[in-house]
Amino acid sequence: MSQQLPLISHLLELRNKLLRAIGSVLLVFICLVYWANDIYHYMAIPLMQSLPETSSMIATDVAAPFFAPFKLTLVLSFFVAIPYVLYQAWSFVAPGLYKHEKRLITPLLFSSTLLFYLGIAFAYYIVFPVVFGFFTSVAPEGVTVATDISSYLSFILKLFFAFGLAFEIPVAVVLMCWAGVTTPEELKQKRPYIVVGAFVVGMMLTPPDIISQTMLAVPMLILFEGGLIAAKLYTPKEDTDNEESKSESTDS
């Protein structure tokens, strides 16, 4: 019975953290939903600038003019609330971490949030204009480009998540090296395989066009090199544990 009480208390704590995270997303959504149509219009600017003057976006579904901006605002609310959501996750696992682990996790949480935002910004300001400009320019003669708003929303959300997650590569590299799974030297030796893997991942996460695949793979490779540099600044977990044990034995 005594073993069940800590488990129940942990589950209750986990539930509270999840409710707070969900509540933060809903709170941001309530604040933004009034401007849902304006938010969608802003997200549609890269495509609208690439469309011919006589063309525009369309809605093939009766409810699409309402649900598309609504869905986009909900996803945007999650993006905005990510720092608080990660903080709730951090506060749940922090009591079970060692002191040197806490020193590592704190900057990683900040950098992972920043990199996720940078990935989304890179997709919107750099990738979208190039991709949409290419798609509209290669349309066959006599074909009017008129994109459905629901299809456009699915397309941009897929790219947002793809680039947001891809920009987390430095964090993943640092974590693997710090935990002793691999070393920067070993990753350097596997660089040719990683280059191929980056283009494969770009092919899987982006639409089937070479432009968006390349524009995802190249930043992934650059971020990988940045992760190697950052990984050298952190001592592997085993070395840190040994240092702490030595210091404890010396003090005793």
Segment 146-150 mean pLDDT: 89
State how far the Cα of 43 lies from the Cα of 49, in Å rounded to an integer: 11
Instruction: Measure the N-to-C terminal CA separation of the chain; round to a whole number of Å.
Output: 37
Domain ranges of the chain: 4-42+50-238
More confident residue, 243 or 108: 108
Please give the backbone phi and psi of residue 148, each rounded to the nearest 5 degrees, phi first: -70, 140
Judged against a pLDDT cut of 70, whether residue 222 lies above it is answered with yes
And the tokens for 71?
A: 């869905």
pLDDT tens-place string over residues 151-171: 999 999 998 998 998 899 998
Judged against a pLDDT cut of 50, whether residue 243 lies above it is answered with no
pTM for the complete prediction? 0.81
Judged against a pLDDT cut of 50, whether residue 46 lies above it is answered with yes
Please give the backbone phi and psi of residue 209, each rounded to the nearest 5 degrees, phi first: -140, 145
State how far the Cα of 217 lies from the Cα of 195, in Å rounded to an integer: 8
